[in-house]
Amino acid sequence: MDMDVDEASKPKEEKLLLVILVGAPGSGKSTFCEEVMRSSTRPWVRICQDTIGNGKAGNKSQCLSSAAGALKDGKSVFIDRCNLDREQRSGFVELGGAQVDVHAVVLDLPAKLCISRSVKRTGHEGNLQGGKAAAVVNRMLQKKELPKLSEGFSRITFCQTESDVKEAVKTYSALGPLDNLPHGCFGQKSSDAKVQVGIMRFLKKAEVPVDAESRENKNRNITSSQTVEIKDPCHKDMESFSSNLDKANTVSKNVENPAVGCPGTHVDQISKDDAPTLAFPSISTSDFQFNHEKAADVIVEKVAEFSNKLGNARLVFVDLTHGSKILSLVKSKAAQKNIDSRKFFTHVGDITQLYSTGGLRCTVIANAANWRLKPGGGGVNAAIFNAAGPAMESATKERAQSLLPGNAVIVPLTSSSPLFTREGVTHVIHVLGPNMNPQRPNCLNNDYNKGCKILKEAYTSLFEAFASIVRTGAEQKNKRDVDHGSEKSKKYKGAEDNSELNIIDSRVEMVDSSSKKTDGSMNRTWGSWAQALHQMAMHPEKHKNDLLEISEDVVVLNDLYPKAQKHVLVLARTGGLDCLADVRNDHLDLIKKMHAVGLKWAEKFLHENASLVFRLGYHSAPSMRQLHLHVISQDFESKHLKNKKHWNSFNTAFFLDSVNVIQEVSKNGKATLKDDDKLLSMELRCHRCRSAHPNIPRLKSHISSCSSPFPAYLLQNGRLVHAQGEASTSS
C-alpha cells in the first residue's frame, strides 16, 4: 500500500472505490467482480448493464444512477460493462471526488481468447454466445480506446494475460474498508511490444502488412482498429452486430499501442489531451531545516488556492521515501481539506524518473534550487541537473544568474534533454524557499513569520509559473493559438509578430509572485508575457511610456496586437483579481469604474472618427493575468486578427459585455462565465448579419461591405457605443 510510516499509527478514513472494468465480451469482467466480491472484506456492489433492468438489459443512465446510489450508501462499486471507449466511461468517471477514487481495470486479453470464451459459453446474461459472438467481439475490438489517466482516473491497471488478471484480483481482494491503492498507471506493456494481431489471423485469413497509414496512425496514438465510437456496447441489442460479417474481417495491423501515462511509452507517442502535471518536492525542509508542520500547512494552503484555477491540470507532491514526514503531513492535511484527489495527490519516487519507473507522466517538474542556480550539492537539485543534461545549466544561466528566496525561474528543456526524451518533461521550474540552516546563505534565524511569508511566495511563484505554462500551452509539441485577443505588453515590442500566436516563448524566463528582480546581476528581468499586464497594473510608474492613463484604480493601454482599428485595455489595479472569475460583489464599484473609463475612451475615439462603433467586455478565460476590460471597435480591421480563435473570442458568448457583467455581479455576486473551448472553434460568422464564412480572409472581405444592422441583443442595454445616428438602437 502507498502509505507513509507516520500515517500507519493514525486512524484511517474509508475512501470508496469506483472500479470501471474495461474489456470485450469474454475478457472475464464478470468473473473478476465475482472473485473479488467473494473474498473481499470491503463492501462491493456489482453493476451490470446486461441485468440492471429487473434482470434484463438496461442502459447507461440506469447504471449511472445505481452507481451513484451505491456510493451514497457507502459501498464501493464495480461497473461491469464493456466501457471500450472514452465516451462510455465518461459519466462514471465524473462520479469520483474527494471521497471516491476512480480506478480502471483493463482486461486487454487476446482477441482469440475472448472469442473462444464467448462462443463456447451458455446462459450468458446478455445472451452473447454461440456463433454470433465472434463477429461482435471482433467489431468491438476494432473500436477499442484504452483509458488514460487524463480522463479522471486515479489508477489504471492493465492486464494482458490471465496471470495479470489473477494478480489484479488478488490486489483488489486484499483491500479492506480503509485500504487504498497507489495512484498511477500499472502493467502496460513496453513500447517495443506489439498489440495482439487482428482476429483475421485467428480466422485463418491473410494479414495485410504494415504500411504508411499504420505508421501515421501510430503517431496519432491509435491503432488501425480504433476508428469509430460505439454506443452502449454492452446492451443486449449488440447481437445485431452479427450482421454484415464481411465487416468483421477487418484486419488489425501489427503496430505499437502505447497507453498514455504508462511506463514504456515514448514521448512522441504521448496523447496531446493528457492533463498537464507539475511534480514538485518540498522546497524548504531538507537542507533548509524548515519546520515540517509549518511547511505542510503552507503547501496545502497554496495547493487548495491553485488547484481549482488550473483547469484539468494536476499537482503532485513527490518525495523519495515512504517514511517522509513532510509527505505524511501533506497527505493528511490535504485529506482534511477535502482537496480533489484528481487535482492533487502525493507520490513516492525519484522526481527525475516518475514516468519511466512509476508510470506518472509529469510535463513540468520543480527543482528545490540553491541561490546560485548551480548544479551540485545533494538531493533534488543535483538529481535534476544531472538528469536534464548539461544543456540545462547553460539554459538556466541565460535566464538568471542567481535567485532570491520566494522566486521562481522557468527553464524550457531542449528536445535532446534526457528528461524530455525519457520522461516527457518539457520545463523545469527552479524555485528557492526560505532557509533556517545557519550553514547556508540567507538564514532567517528561526524567524518563522518571515519564513512562512517567503515560503508562501515561493509556492505562489511556482504554481503561477506552472499556471502560465498550462494556460498558454507551452509544450512545444502541442503549441496552439489561445491568444483570445493577444494583449501582450508593449514591453515586448521587439518580439517577432508570430510570438503572439505561441503565447509562451521557449525563451521566456521568470515568473514570480511579486514581480521582483531575482538578482541585480541579471542582464535583464521580465515575467512571462502572461504576467506583463499584472506587472503594469501593480507598478505603473515603471511603464509610463506604455500607458495611456494611470489612476488609483485602473490603468489604460493600447493592446499591442489590436484586433481592430481601436483596441484598448482597462486594467484593474487591485491585487488578487487575476480574471473575471475572481470578481465578487465587493468589486462592484471597481468594475463600474472600469466601465466608465472604457466609455470615456470610446467616446474620445468617436470624436476622432464618428463612424466607429465600440463594444466593451471581458474574455471568460483570458490568456493574460490581471482583470482587464476590452474596449474594441467593431470594424475588426487589423492585420493581427488572423484566425478563428481571434474572431470567436470577441464574437461569441466567450466575450461578456461589461454591462451584463455589472448586472450579474450586482444581482448574483459573480458573473456567469462561458469558459468553453468549443466557443472558440465555432464556425466563422459575421457579427452583424450572422452569415457563415469558410476562412478569415473571406470573412474580412464580407465585413468590409456588410451594411446589415447589428443583432438586436447588441443594440439593447448600451452594449454598443456609437455616435448619434451611426447605429440603430432599440429600447
Helix, strand, coil share (%) of the chain residues, nearest 5: 35, 15, 50
Q: How far apart are CA 250 and CA 143, in angstroms?
A: 11
Q: In terms of C-beta density within 10 A (0-12 exposed, 13-18 middle, 19 or more buried), how is residue 318 classed?
A: buried
Q: How far apart are CA 658 and CA 642, in angstroms?
A: 25
Q: Known catalytic residue: 266?
A: no
Q: How far apart are CA 688 and CA 714, in angstroms?
A: 10
The C-alpha R_g of the chain, in whole angstroms, comes to 28
Side chain identity, residue 719: R
Q: How far apart are CA 423 and CA 133, in angstroms?
A: 41
Closest CA to 441 of 377, 379, 372: 372
Q: In terms of C-beta density within 10 A (0-12 exposed, 13-18 middle, 19 or more buried), how is residue 219 classed?
A: exposed
- Please answer whether residues 89 and 147 qualify as being in contact, where contact means their C-beta atoms are separated by less than 8 angstroms: yes
The set of residues, in sequence order, having a beta carbon less than 8 Å from that of 522 and lying 6+ positions away, is 400, 401, 402
Q: How far apart are CA 658 and CA 569, in angstroms?
A: 13
Query: What separation in angstroms does the CA of 63 have from each of 19, 49, 145, 649?
Result: 13, 6, 21, 38
In the DSSP assignment, the letter for residue 358 is H
- What is the helix (H) or strand (E) element at residue 618, kind and residue range? strand 613-619
Q: How far apart are CA 191 and CA 202, in angstroms?
A: 24
Instruction: Name the grid cell of 94.
Output: 465524473
Q: Following CA atoms 303, 304, 305, 311 in sequence, which dihedral angle do they give, to the nearest 10 degrees?
A: 80
The beta-carbon contacts of 700-708 under 8 Å, at least 24 apart in sequence, are: 700/636, 700/637, 700/641, 703/635, 703/636, 704/637
Chain-centroid distance, C-alpha 686: 32
Instruction: Name the grid cell of 485.
Output: 485577443
Within 10 Å of residue 538's Cβ, how many Cβ atoms?
Answer: 17
DSSP 632-678: EETT---TT--SHHHHHHHHSTTEEEHHHHHHHHHHHSS------HH
Closest CA to 354 of 434, 271, 278: 278
Coil/strand/helix, residue 690: coil
Instruction: Name the grid cell of 4.
Output: 507513509
- Pairing label, strands 364-368, 314-319: unpaired
- H helices, E strands: number in the chain: 23, 21
Closest CA to 261 of 127, 367, 150: 150
Q: How far apart are CA 275 and CA 477, in angstroms?
A: 14
DSSP 249-313: GPPPP------TTSTT--GGG--TTSPPEEEE--SSSSTT---HHHHHHHHHHHHHHHHTTSTT-
Place of cell 469604474: 593
Q: Following CA atoms 408, 409, 415, 421 in sequence, which dihedral angle do they give, to the nearest 10 degrees?
A: -20
In the DSSP assignment, the letter for residue 532 is H
Residue of 292, 628, 646, 722 marked catalytic = 628
Q: Which positions are annotated as active-site residues? A: 628
